[in-house]
Amino acid sequence: MNMMFYVRGHPDDFDHWSRLGNDLWSYDQVLPYFKMSETIEVDRLKNSHFHGHDGPLHVTEIQPTKLGNLRSA
């Protein structure tokens, strides 16, 4: 079995780093880079302004039926 998870840090973490002295690390500053890096392939998130559509990382969700197959293995 092979799996990969795509997880971003919490916005508050980035804003905390920004308050420590580097304004370029605020969530508002890094969000465009997250968006540039991904192509969201989750229907309910396709219209979200937090996700991109033209990046090299194709982000999907695991389907509950597939998760059930893993549990029974």
Q: What is the CATH number of the domain that holds 46?
A: 1.10.1220.110
Q: How many domains does the chain have?
A: 1
| CA 8 distance to own-chain centroid | 5
State which residues form the domain around 41. Answer: 11-72
Which residue in 25, 21, 22, 1 sits closest to 11, CA to CA? 25
Reported pTM: 0.77
Residues 7-60: tens digit of each pLDDT? 999 999 999 999 999 999 999 999 999 999 999 999 999 999 999 999 999 999
DSSP E strands: which ranges in the chain? 38-40, 57-59
Identify whether 1 is part of a domain: no
Report phi then psi at 61, rounded to 5.
-115, 150
